[in-house]
Chains A and B, each alone.
Chain A
């Protein structure tokens, strides 16, 4: 069964600190993995998208890693800011025949950044 599991479920850190969020997946075959940030009551915003051949990708203070062998990914946030408080969702795209590639969504990690 195709699944995406994230940990921790929730996390609270102090402003300025770093944190790392984890994502394990069992989606096969694999096309790409993406991390989204979703603020409360808003739609998801893409942070990074990585294909099979990419091990790491950065977007400002966000750095994602991918180990396709162990089927694990992480999202590292450096120098956290209050505005980083949101849900971070790991999403894996599996390959299907034709163009209808569906996304397998994780439940997300709820991050709270306190002053």
Chain B
């Protein structure tokens, strides 16, 4: 259980184009999904928190107009990198929190991670 998928697993695009990454919770519902970025030999950096049916909350320094997040359903969140540039090349990882968590588990804020999407902008 608690499987999160991402699509695509890797993408190469030209500078100036937009890229959409999907994050799906396959066997549970997620009111909250998180988007992370990871550069080589670095730890995961939280970009934004995505809540179903409402606007995403972005971390300081993350441009909301560049990284568009849509969380239209309890099983799907998308991240669109608009007008991508080579410096946006990174490993993007999503995670999802099970809406079914209650009591102690909800307090732990347990998140299930997707396999990641490798973005390369030429």
Contact = CB atoms under 8 A, between A and B. Distances in A.
Contacts of B6: 43
B57 A100 contact: yes
A49 B116 contact: no
Given A93-B108, A93-B109, A43 B93 contact: yes
Interface residues of B, number: 25
A32 interface: yes
Contact of A107 (B43, B112, B115): B43
A108 B114 contact: no
B56 to A, nearest CB: 12
Contacts of A43: 4, 6, 93, 95, 113-116
A108 B108 contact: no
B27 interface: no
Contacts of B116: 41-43
Interface of A: 31-32, 36, 41-46, 49, 51, 89, 93, 99-103, 105-108
